């Protein structure tokens, strides 16, 4: 799988839905027959995948909340996550 | 206590189709009691979500025959469940789909019997091929994610490429190719439905290459046929471990088939809240964990992987529900599974309908 275009505007696939899991106290990504458990930063990232924001803008948003000094690490994590979600067919980009 | 993740709600046993591999009990037409009311189902869905369930499959019979389906979708989605409607598509129309979407339906799984009309209608026992193609188009137009589900058997397993082409043409997001599992009506029709070993091996090869070729176009799920394996499936992820199946009249079962095992008494959501059933039901506790196991499972290093396979299949093929699933080559009864495949016959089909149900349920 190729890397992501930073100007691309990712959006969760129609069949995937973010859901708060009260019992596990975490977000999960639900889709047919399965679920992915998300850590808090992954959940915040996917909340921003609305088809309007670019990958760059998503990284900017997270860096403003989690620390500009961590921007490079955040960018790596965001791209890694989005590539994996895309590979499962759950992200339109 | 294990955590519940998935609920299958069999809203009704009524169905206009007569599919020869239906998973409903063969005695569905007799003595199962009245269907749960809207309020009773609503309590089940809210209680299930509170127990931790994330996935809900609204199934049947044909769930579209429940006039309260929109209300049931609304209440389950509001409880946070991912709501999947499993339907034959009969009587589906644009108006209903719009209503389902507004109520929060997440996904539809539409059954398709074959890519060819004649064979599809032979298996369904009614004329339904054109209405299914129309239903698929309506679902796509309504913007609801769609999985086409095809149960594989001798009659259609040679047409996997055609089934895949049709699924892409219909705009499905996913194609689920599920080999027939031999329970209930499928067990009645086992000799007629089993493919040959060569057909099955070829099907696995074709699916592997189609998955590669169709990447990005459609996702292909393949449910393997356990009769062709030498280790059993991890049935339901373990008995009452993550999954519940609730029958139309409210009996809470660990799977679709468990009523074949004699002596199990199922609790009913009319009388007991779902959380209490999940924790205390004698039937759900009967095969939880591995204390119930006998040899060869008890000392088997793989018992945590496959849980000894399927209790229902073990009972049906050996008469002992605690026995190793005979699909396992370590089972003393494994030869019965090999023989079933090798001695297939061209038997006539027994259709899933009320008449046959009453005949099968009658004392001999």
Q: What is the pLDDT of residues B126-185, one digit of tens each?
A: 999 999 999 999 999 999 999 999 999 999 999 999 999 999 999 999 999 999 999 999
- Band (B347; pLDDT cuts 50, 70, 90): confident
Q: Which residue is listed with tokens 């008494």?
A: B265
3-class DSSP state of B351: coil
Q: What is the mean predicted confidence (pLDDT) over B291-319?
A: 97
Q: Do B80 and A33 touch (CB under 8 A)?
A: no
The residue of chain A nearest to residue B77, with distances taken between CA atoms, is A19
Looking at residue A27, what DSSP letter applies?
E
Q: What is the pLDDT of residues B184-240, one digit of tens each?
A: 999 999 999 999 999 999 999 999 999 999 988 899 999 999 999 999 999 999 999
pLDDT score of B363: 78
Query: Is the predicted pLDDT of residue B48 greater than 80, yes or no?
Result: yes
Contact of B261 with B313, CB cutoff 8 Å: no
pLDDT score of B152: 98
Asked if B338 has any chain A CB less than 8 Å from its own CB, the reply is no
- Band (A1; pLDDT cuts 50, 70, 90): very low
Q: What is the pLDDT of residues B252-279, one digit of tens each?
A: 999 999 999 999 999 999 999 999 999 9
Asked if B355 has any chain A CB less than 8 Å from its own CB, the reply is no
Query: Is the predicted pLDDT of residue B86 greater than 50, yes or no?
Result: yes
CA separation (Å) from A26 to A37, A58, B184, B288? 8, 20, 39, 27
Mean pLDDT score of chain B, rounded to an integer? 96
The residue of chain A nearest to residue B104, with distances taken between CA atoms, is A17
Q: What is the mean predicted confidence (pLDDT) over B86-104?
A: 97
Secondary element (H or E) of residue B192: helix B190-193
Q: Which residue is listed with tokens 């396979």?
A: B309
Q: What is the mean predicted confidence (pLDDT) over B52-60?
A: 98
Asked if B217 has any chain A CB less than 8 Å from its own CB, the reply is no
Query: Is the predicted pLDDT of residue B26 greater than 60, yes or no?
Result: yes
- Band (B364; pLDDT cuts 50, 70, 90): low
- A6: tokens are 């930073």
pLDDT score of A2: 56
- Band (A24; pLDDT cuts 50, 70, 90): very high
């Amino acid at each position: 799988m190729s890397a992501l275009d930073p100007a691309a505007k990712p959006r969760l696939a129609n069949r995937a839905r973010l859901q708060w899991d009260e019992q596990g106290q975490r977000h999960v990504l639900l889709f047919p027959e399965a679920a992915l458990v998300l850590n808090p930063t992954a959940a915040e990232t996917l909340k921003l995948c609305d088809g309007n924001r670019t990958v760059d803008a998503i990284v900017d948003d997270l860096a403003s909340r989690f620390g500009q000094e961590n921007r490079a690490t955040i960018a790596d994590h965001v791209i890694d996550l989005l590539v994996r979600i895309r590979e499962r067919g759950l992200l339109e980009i | 206590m294990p955590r519940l993740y998935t609920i299958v709600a069999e809203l009704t046993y009524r169905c206009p189709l007569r599919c020869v591999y239906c998973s409903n009990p063969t005695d569905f037409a007799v003595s199962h009691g009245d269907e749960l009311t809207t309020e009773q189902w609503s309590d089940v869905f809210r209680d299930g979500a509170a127990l931790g369930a994330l996935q809900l499959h609204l199934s049947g019979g044909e769930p579209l025959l429940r006039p309260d389906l929109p209300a049931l979708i609304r209440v389950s989605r509001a409880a946070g469940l991912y709501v999947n409607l499993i339907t034959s598509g009969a009587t589906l129309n644009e108006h209903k789909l719009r209503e389902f979407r507004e109520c929060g339906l997440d996904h539809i799984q539409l059954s398709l019997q074959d890519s060819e009309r004649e064979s599809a209608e032979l298996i369904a026992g009614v004329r339904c091929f054109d209405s299914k193609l129309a239903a698929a188009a309506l679902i796509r137009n309504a913007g609801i994610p769609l999985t086409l589900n095809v149960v594989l058997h001798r009659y259609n397993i040679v047409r996997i490429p055609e089934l895949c082409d049709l699924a892409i043409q219909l705009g499905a997001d996913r194609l689920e190719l599920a080999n027939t599992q031999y329970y209930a009506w499928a067990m009645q029709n086992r000799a007629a439905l089993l493919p040959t070993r060569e057909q099955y091996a070829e099907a696995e090869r074709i699916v592997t290459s189609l998955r590669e070729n169709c990447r990005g176009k459609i996702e292909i799920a393949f449910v393997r046929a356990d009769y062709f394996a030498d280790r059993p499936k991890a049935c339901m992820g373990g008995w009452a471990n993550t999954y519940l199946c609730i029958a139309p009249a409210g009996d809470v079962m660990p799977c679709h088939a468990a009523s074949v095992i004699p002596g199990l008494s199922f609790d009913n959501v009319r009388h007991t809240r779902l959380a209490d059933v999940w924790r205390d039901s004698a039937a759900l506790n009967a095969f939880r964990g591995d204390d119930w196991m006998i040899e060869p499972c008890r000392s088997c290093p793989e018992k945590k992987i496959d849980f000894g396979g399927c209790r229902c299949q073990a009972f049906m093929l050996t008469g002992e529900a605690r026995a190793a699933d005979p699909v396992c080559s370590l089972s003393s009864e494994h030869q019965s599974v090999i023989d079933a495949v090798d001695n297939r016959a061209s038997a006539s089909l027994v259709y899933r309908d009320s008449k046959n149900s009453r005949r099968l349920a009658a004392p001999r």
